[in-house]
Structure 1
Amino acid sequence: MLKKRYFKIVIVVVIVIIVTILWYRHSVGKSDQAVNVDQSQYIPTLYIHGWGAGARSTNSMIDYAEKNYNADQVLTVIVSKKGDVKFQGKWTKKINRPIIQIVLQDNKNGNYNVTQKWFKNILTKLQSTYHVKKFNTVSHSMGNLITMYYQMNHGSNDKLPKLEKQVNLAGHFDGIIGLDDKVNRNYFLKTGAPRYQNDSFRDLYRHRNNYPKKQVDILNIYGNLDDGTNSDGRVSNVSSRSLKYILQDRYHSYREIEIHGVMGQHSKLHENNNVNRLVGKFLWQ
């Protein structure tokens, strides 16, 4: 009797193990298949940080969007110092407002002809893996130049995903104070062009016809400390606002918003809930 009872117990344990293995294989199989779900109808918003920064500088913006605009971060993209792209997370669900956070391991690379290629690597991988056809960007500081250089090199390529909405925060399109700009030196001419133009400005303007015409809605947010410098402490308002002249007849719509006071400081713009609200409203309402 005792042997019979042990035999029955062994049989039950074996059956449980077999059922568990089959269930696990079925679940993993479904998960792997879900990775390849066609996400082409959903437009992801790519958040990219500035010089010397990382995930922490876009975390609060993404957190605000998730809590207040029903958005969801689906992926973190890690870009190696060689430009290799690695996805963390799985975009397995059909999400109306997907967010993708970009983190550059070489976060002090100021060669935009190199970093724009890294951005292209991200988009081509999103295209091949998730069938992405359109995208939005939210860029801070150096991130603005990376995305702009990408557009000036590949924006007219119909084989690549197309930019829909572009948010710029603290963009230095015509210089940085202390590097190639000085406090209150620059100003706009009657033509709308800045009086002093640095290499990046001239480079972007020279290739402006590659920017997708009458397609992109732009929100350009810049800070003014109201301390007499007409800047966010790092970037003059003329430098940030010079984007409009670069793209003057290329955009679909263009709006500038000036953030005044302490929370308009260069690095505080991405920690400012008023800015987060404006960005969310622009992207999703």
Structure 2
Amino acid sequence: MNKVGKYGVRLLAIVVVLLLCGQLIMISGSRSNRLNHFAAGVQKSNTPTLLISGWGGGTPTYHRLITTYYQQKIAQKVMTIWVLPNGKCLVHGHLDANRPNQLIQLLYVWNYTPTYNPQTKQLTAVLTMLHDRYHVDKLNVIAHSYGGSEWANAVFCSPRLQKEIKYQKVVLLGVPVDESFGTKTRFGLHLLHKSTDHNFKQLLRGASLMQANHNQPEIFNLLGSKEGKNDQTDGSVPHVQSQMMRLVVKKMGSTYHERTYANTTHFQLHQKKAILKEVAADIWDN
């Protein structure tokens, strides 16, 4: 092998090592913490909250949320779950029925796939594990981007998950539920019959099943507007793709809230202090 070839191999090896190190940091997990006292006005709840990141997301997605809620004595992170592509779950920490406002950080070991369908299957395995191993029968969810798409598709399409776990409050941060439409399309009821997104059609069918199973979580759908209130995208997800959740919730018969934040990018939806404060109020009424 000539010198150019050797240098090329070495460079490639260095790049691979750096990428692996970067991924290890992404899935390292935020520090767990315990609260003995809570701030005034924070409602204590025995229902744990699962944090689900989106495509390519990991520890940084909710690190600020976890740290902020701990410092402000709102919630405590008690468990990290790593899920492998084959659905196997690795768990650090544990749930305690006597500790209120517990946070569970879910980390996909690899979530760089072309679609979110593989992560939907992995999330199904995580939710099943939480019920079977830790006896979780009530759950709140905070989900960013494809993490919310995965939650909706996992739960709405699974009679078992609907019957075993009662989903109480679900906060969606820039979550696309129908990718048929782009920024030039404004939401309207007529879009129900124009959708070409197979996953969205599954959600509509699953919404009726959710209603029949009396599993009707309160949905908070938060959207970002990259360049002001009237911008129709957060820079990654067009509003209409998230607003199609209105049709799903209507069929499910749940309580629905939708808020749009001006000058807020897709990334900032899980980083801005004002949004984190409102999300805490949504979950724990503080």
Structure 1 and Structure 2 fold alike (TM over 0.5): yes
Aligned to 1:218: 219
* CA offsets 1:154-174 (integer angstroms, 9 cap, x no match): 256565222111110001112
Q: Could you tell me which amino acid in structure 2 is paired with residue 267 of structure 1?
A: F
1:44 CA drift (Å): 0.7
Give 1:266's aligned amino acid: H
CA apart distance, 1:183? 3.0
Given candidates 142, 145, 162, the residue that maps to 2:146 is 142
Q: Do residues 130 (structure 1) and 129 (structure 2) align? A: no
Q: Structure 1 residue 56: deviation in Å?
A: 1.0
Cα gap change, 1:195 to 1:259, in 2 (>3 Å): farther
- Given candidates 54, 60, 63, the residue that maps to 1:56 is 60
Equivalent residue, structure 1, for 2:283? 283
TM-score by length of 1: 0.75
Q: 1:216 to 1:159 in 2, by over 3 A?
A: closer
Q: Hey, what does 1:77 align to over in structure 2? A: 81
Structure 1 residues 156 and 130: alpha-carbon distance in aligned structure 2, compared to 1, 3 A threshold: closer
User: CA separation in 2, counterparts of 1:219 and 1:273?
Assistant: 17
Residues 154 and 210, structure 1, Cα contact 8 Å, conserved in 2 = no
Q: Is the 8 A contact 1:187 1:195 kept in 2?
A: no
Give percent identity, aligned residues only. 24
Counterpart-to-counterpart distance in 1, 2:162 and 2:182:
40
Cα distance in 2 for partners of 1:65, 1:168 equals 18
- Deviations 1:190-211, CA, capped at 9 Å, x for gaps: 5574855433323322332233
Q: Residues 196 and 67 of structure 1: is their aligned pair in 2 closer, same or farther, counting only changes over 3 Å?
A: same
SS of equivalent to 1:76: strand
Q: Please state whether the residue corresponding to 1:53 is helix, strand or coil.
A: coil
Aligned-pair RMSD on alpha carbons?
2.4
Structure 2 alignment gaps of length 5 or more: 1-44
Distance 1:97 1:165 in 2: 13
Paired amino acid for 1:108: Y
* Cα distance in 2 for residues equivalent to 1:52 and 1:96: 30
Q: Contact 2:208–2:251 at 8 Å: present in 1 too? A: no
The answer as to 2:177 corresponding to 1:173 is yes
What are the ranges of 5 or more consecutive residues in structure 1 without an aligned counterpart? 1-40
Q: Is the 1:218–1:251 contact (alpha carbons within 8 Å) kept by the matching residues of 2?
A: no
Quote the residue 1:19 is aligned against: none
What whole-Å deviation, never above 9, does each CA across 1:39-68 have from its counterpart, x for those lacking one?
xx8211000101011111111112222223
Question: 1:241, CA displacement in angstroms?
Answer: 1.0
The alpha-carbon deviation at position 69 of structure 1 amounts to: 4.8
Partner residue in 2 for 1:246: 248
Letter in 2 for 1:277: K
Q: Which amino acid aligns with 1:203?
A: Q
Q: Tell me the amino acid that sits aligned with residue 236 of structure 2.
A: R
The equivalent residue for 2:157 is 153
1:234 counterpart residue number? 236
Query: Looking at CA atoms only, which structure, 1 or 2, has the larger radius of gyration?
Result: 1
For 2:215 and 2:162, locate their aligned partners in 1 and report how far apart those are by CA, in whole Å: 15
Relative to structure 1, the CA distance from residue 111 to residue 230 in structure 2 (aligned partners, 3 Å threshold; closer, same or farther) is: closer
Deviation at 1:187, TM superposition (A): 2.1
The separation in 2 between residues aligned to 1:155 and 1:55, in whole angstroms, is 30
Q: Distance in 2 between matches of 1:194 and 1:235?
A: 21
Matched, 1:200 2:219: no
Q: What is the distance in 2 between the residues matched to 1:117 and 1:258? A: 30
Cα separation, partners in 2 of 1:225 and 1:113, compared to 1, 3 Å: closer
Name the residue aligned to 2:266: 266
Which of 117, 121, 130 is the equivalent residue of 1:117?
121
Regions of 4+ moved over 4 Å? 110-113, 155-159, 194-197
Deviation at 1:274, TM superposition (A): 1.1
